[in-house]
Structure 1
Amino acid sequence: MNAEAGNTVYSPAASEIAEALAERLGVAGLIPQPTADGITTLWVPREKLRTILHCLKHELLSPHVMLFDLTAIDERQRIHRQGLPDSDFTVIYHLLSFSRNEDIRLKVALRENDLLLPTVLDLWPSANWYEREAWDMFGIVFEGHPHLRRILMPPTWEGHPLRKDHYARATEKEPFTLPDERQDIEQNALRFVPEDWGMSRRSEESDFMFLNMGPNHPSVHGVFRIALQLDGEEIINALPDIGYHHRGAEKMGERQSWHTYIPYTDRVDYLGGSMNNLPYVLAVEKLAGIEVPPRAEVIRVMVAEFYRIASHLLFYGTYAQDIGQLSPIFYMFIDREQVFDILESISGARMHSSYFRIGGVAMDLPKGWDKRIREFLDRFPGRLDDYDKLVMRNGTIKRRTQGVGAYNTREAIDWGATGPGLRATGFGWDYRKARPYSGYQNFEFEIPIAQNGDCYDRCAVRVEEMRQSVRIIRQCLDNMPEGPYKAEHPLTTPPPRTRTLHDIETLIQHFLNVSWGPVIPAGEAAVTVEATKGLNAYYLTSDGNGMSYRTRIRTPSFPHLQMIPMMCNGMMVADLIAILASIDFVMADVDR
């Protein structure tokens, strides 16, 4: 079935999968849902959820092996729900199959007075944090979860912030005060009690030492804490504690117009710049049915790859610095500044350019745009060769990182690892190749892989990715199409200048599109890109007005930090520093 309603489409596979599950498991009542992204979406009965998930992961010929995302939505104020089951809250499981190269989205309808679901932690270890987040933000209780407590909000927080009845702005509350007795309560809530974290204070042979690493420590790359359980210097357990950087990016997405939210996306993985804009604007364009001109697509690819280089250079320098080699970061920052000079000349800004727009880019390339880029491309590969000698062939670096923090492909997939962290295990899966977007299918480049899945290989993959980015940018340089830099579509925001100053009607349209934002058709769409640190996705729900009803940001760093205990148990504290350096994360990408 391939019926269309507006800009929503039934996935051709939805009915087939529903019939196969019904035949194999005897599950009735699976309801397909059309979506703007065409991903197979099925509503499933709560009592059959685990049976269906187990079948999809273990019993199908080409299974859906990765829990890509788990989130929820408060449906109570949503208007456009025609044809969908009655639901106050909906929990959404997004699964990924590499062998099929397909996704499936399962939805479970819940009533407000019965927000209970079974945990799937035994199926995917990555579900631990996702389920805690769904409880923290929405109040969904996952029965059987061993540690269902706050993860992004402080332990003393009252309410569940992504519910529609939870306030969004400080001005909706009384002015903040902190009386002495309240301060004592807040201070006491931050005390580290090993038993609360599931840790024991002693074994039969020895008493354990507990060490707080962070939340302010140069090696944790942001406001992030790890509670270490140590036997001497050997790590027995390491529990990450996140949320110190949480600022409600998803809640903000439900209070900003579709257009004015774009700058907020820059600040999620703040090292990725406009790379963060891309999945967001692509998702809005799917909802609106906007086709982006070829020139805009190539410009987007070129800018995104420059931000990939900038992010990887910072990773490369801090990776060496964390292990004890101070010189490389100074050389690499010179190259990074040159990248930002190029981006500034194109967009007017450096780290946070917010250059991508709904329908294209903010402005066309300036005169002489190619000269500085060509100079950089001619010089940079030689610099990378020098860094190979300085870092990758350094004996101390090798001894500190080879065989440290290793995991295999199966473990990576179970924990939700993507990007270089997955490809370092020998699995050559890159979203730009597997599911090309923005015209990536028109570019020639290789997928760098390694074999050992350790700290060294995670760095080696990123180093080679920079060389491949140079190849892609050179092709953009040599094959930049002519034509418009933004689509001629009424929902493109803001409208092209040629349609802005023509007469009073076009000026009014510009004013309304910028100040109030375009009205995007009702529907749902998720778009994923191969971002600097792994797969980054925006899952947007429109209720047919000028703001998103639900903005879900699936970031790569969130599941990656969950892997820390698995990677470092039995290692030394110094090894943990190397492991953290090799993950390549920023806390804004984790906490949002």
Structure 2
Amino acid sequence: MEGSITAELGSRFGEGVLKEETPRDGMPTVWAPAERIVTILQYLKSDISMPYRMLYDLTAIDERAYKRAQNGHAPFDFTVVYHLFSFERNAFLRLKAGLRGEYPSMPSITHIWPCANWYEREVYDMFGIRFEGHPFLRRILMPTTWEGHPLRKEHPARATEMGPFKLFDEKVDREQSALQFRPEEWGLKRHSDDADFMFLNIGPQHPGTHGVLRIILQLDGEDIVDAVPDIGFHHRGAEKMGERQSWHTYIPYTDRIDYLGGVMNNLAYLLSVEKLAGIEVPLRAQVIRVMLCELFRIASHLVWYGTFAQDVGQLSPVFYMFTDRERVFEIIEAICGGRMHPNWFRIGGVAQDLPNGWDKLVRDFISYFPRKLREYDKMVMQNALFKARTLGIGIYTLEEAIDWGVTGPGLRACGLEWDMRKMRPYSGYENFAFEVPTAANGDCYDRAMVRVAEMRQSLRIIEQCLEYMPAGDFKSHHPLATPPVKQHTMHDIETLIHHFLNVSWGPVIPAGEAMSCIEATKGWNGYYLVSDGNTSPYRVRVRTPSFPHMQMVPYISRSYTVADLLSILGAMDFVLADIDR
């Protein structure tokens, strides 16, 4: 089915207009002229049979330092990359548009997908590519006073490449001026004909924002007229860092993106690396990965469960749930040696085999935790206050969710039984029996209900890992697996040298591109990697679920009250570093 899309596009737009490419991940990939991109994307979303209704991701690549031939055409300076997803086809599609010039421009697609707004702003912020027709094209992650575009190849990656910092009086004045709040600069209006509106900052230091997030509210009394999220406070250049780390040493950086998801970040990254390298992961390593990912899913959901209850007025649950999270971390620490950020997965498998006694720890937890979940049902889900604050609040339909790029529990709460572990299984998930919880109303309560049910399904998966853990290797013997299995280094000098180079320089990953997509704790998490055949990635793109989810907040919070906004934010289960990277 996936292969037929290129033929469909060719018959519709002409064989000479579109150019097909065969990437290492096998995803259908088509080059299109930038001036035709709007027409082609509109056709793919609305007019084609079994349409690509979701804009999964939109990013760019600075091609100017790429050393290899670019698929037979004259080299482009920049490439804008669109990843689309079709639920009917169960397929991704990659569409690429090449641009030339130092600061090129192309048409905006915000009128096709509302979620393209933030993605195009991010490309403008990071690369300097302008999108004609964008309603509000300004920086989104970097300060408005930032000079340069960080993901361009000429922009320095380290502070040591920039020279000493100097704070001149002019810079102080410029920065202070930029801090002044002018509603018009945020797309807001000061008043209407018959009412005066008030502006209110939620954050960037507010317990209801779960981190350093600022939301500018425009209020008419208690009612929200408009809301503008101000993000980027946690931005650390995670994608830029990928360009100067080896494929191996970048693994710990992924842990810090969804910092509640732990090794699940590693998995999303490594699946893409392993596609590029052609590495088959042994069955035992796959099952170990699945078990640890599901343990982290429970740990992450417990943080969300307790803090969400706290957001809407319950104080006790967060203490009980954080105590149970510690029980999960005791297992993680016993196996990995670390807790929140164990960075324990490796290219081709995991760092070590399971230690003696791991099975008893896991068995004790899966016998203990179900009764605690039943207790929390009574404490939170059946609580009248919790229901009053969440039922019928923050509703969106399935069509709206897909338009805005909502994935994970937020999508399943609208009635769509779609879980990447079931529909596009990875790491051996096809071997496990579990259900996909759904709900029907798409409100805050339903999003909570789905996550609570997911914890029970994670327990089912962990129990299967416990009972059917296969024997075998915990890491691939592929020469690009890093680091190689240690005991082999003691037999000959060539293997020892190979081990030393793979650890110090990292493996040389074949040139090409690949994308992964996993069902992470908060939705679909993917890494789009481009290699030019070197020891470091040429381009690392991190597609996180929290970024499009936060973009939807203004849309679903209008006409609700300020108190309702905290329910909407709590039900979303976002992480700020997952938004900002």
Give yes or no for contact 1:292–1:486 (8 Å, CA) kept in 2. Answer: yes
Q: What displacement does 1:404 show?
A: 0.3
Q: Secondary structure at the match of 1:548?
A: coil
Q: What is the aligned counterpart of 2:98 among 100, 109, 116? A: 109
Q: For residues 350-361 of structure 1, what are the structure 2 equivalents within 5 Å?
A: 350-361=339-350
Q: Provide the rounded CA distance (Å) in 2 between the counterparts of 1:431 and 1:72.
A: 25
- Residue 38 of structure 1 corresponds to 26
- Residue 230 of structure 2 corresponds to 241
1:423 equivalent to 2:412? Answer yes
- Residue 79 of structure 2 corresponds to 90
Q: Provide the rounded CA distance (Å) in 1 between the counterparts of 2:479 and 2:16.
A: 43
Output the aligned Cα RMSD: 1.1
Which structure 1 segments of 5+ residues have no match? 1-11
1:536 equivalent to 2:525? Answer yes
2:52 counterpart letter in structure 1: H
Q: Secondary structure at the match of 1:302?
A: helix
Cα deviation per residue 1:367-404 (whole Å; 9 max; x = unaligned)? Answer: 11100110000010100000000000000100110000
Q: What is the aligned counterpart of 1:61 among 49, 57, 66? A: 49
- Residue 521 of structure 1 corresponds to 510
Q: Secondary structure at the match of 2:478?
A: coil
Q: What displacement does 1:13 show?
A: 4.3
Q: For residues 361-372 of structure 1, what are the structure 2 equivalents within 5 Å?
A: 361-372=350-361
Q: Secondary structure at the match of 1:460?
A: helix
Q: Secondary structure at the match of 2:225?
A: strand
Give yes or no for contact 2:115–2:403 (8 Å, CA) kept in 1. Answer: yes
Give yes or no for contact 1:27–1:48 (8 Å, CA) kept in 2. Answer: no
2:481 counterpart letter in structure 1: T
- Residue 217 of structure 2 corresponds to 228
Q: Provide the rounded CA distance (Å) in 1 between the counterparts of 2:369 and 2:247.
A: 37
1:471 equivalent to 2:460? Answer yes
Give yes or no for contact 1:270–1:588 (8 Å, CA) kept in 2. Answer: yes
Give yes or no for contact 1:75–1:88 (8 Å, CA) kept in 2. Answer: yes
Give yes or no for contact 1:92–1:107 (8 Å, CA) kept in 2. Answer: yes
Q: Provide the rounded CA distance (Å) in 2 between the counterparts of 1:84 and 1:383.
A: 60
Give yes or no for contact 1:33–1:84 (8 Å, CA) kept in 2. Answer: no
Q: Provide the rounded CA distance (Å) in 2 between the counterparts of 1:81 and 1:189.
A: 43
- Residue 389 of structure 1 corresponds to 378
Q: What displacement does 1:63 show?
A: 0.2
2:61 counterpart letter in structure 1: I
Q: Provide the rounded CA distance (Å) in 2 between the counterparts of 1:27 and 1:132.
A: 32
Q: Provide the rounded CA distance (Å) in 2 between the counterparts of 1:134 and 1:556.
A: 17
- Residue 489 of structure 1 corresponds to 478
- Residue 375 of structure 1 corresponds to 364
Q: What is the aligned counterpart of 1:210 among 199, 213, 233? A: 199
Q: What is the aligned counterpart of 1:317 among 276, 295, 306? A: 306
Q: What displacement does 1:27 show?
A: 6.7
Cα deviation per residue 1:215-266 (whole Å; 9 max; x = unaligned)? Answer: 1111111111101000111100001010111000000000000000000000
- Residue 4 of structure 1 corresponds to none
Cα deviation per residue 1:413-470 (whole Å; 9 max; x = unaligned)? Answer: 0000000010000011000000000000000000000111111111110000000000
- Residue 133 of structure 1 corresponds to 122
1:268 equivalent to 2:229? Answer no
Give yes or no for contact 1:259–1:358 (8 Å, CA) kept in 2. Answer: yes
Q: Secondary structure at the match of 2:55?
A: strand
1:127 counterpart letter in structure 2: A
Q: Secondary structure at the match of 1:532?
A: coil
Q: What is the aligned counterpart of 1:413 among 402, 421, 444? A: 402
Cα deviation per residue 1:276-297 (whole Å; 9 max; x = unaligned)? Answer: 0001111111111110000000
2:33 counterpart letter in structure 1: P
- Residue 322 of structure 2 corresponds to 333
With the length of structure 1 as denominator, give the TM-score of the two structures.
0.97
- Residue 24 of structure 1 corresponds to 12
Q: What displacement does 1:23 show?
A: 2.6
With the length of structure 2 as denominator, give the TM-score of the two structures.
0.98
* Percentage identity across paired residues of the two chains: 64
- Residue 9 of structure 1 corresponds to none
Q: What displacement does 1:84 show?
A: 4.3
Give yes or no for contact 2:77–2:102 (8 Å, CA) kept in 1. Answer: no
Cα deviation per residue 1:449-504 (whole Å; 9 max; x = unaligned)? Answer: 01111111111100000000000000000000001100011100001112223333
Cα deviation per residue 1:330-370 (whole Å; 9 max; x = unaligned)? Answer: 00011100000000000000000001000000000001110
- Residue 66 of structure 2 corresponds to 78
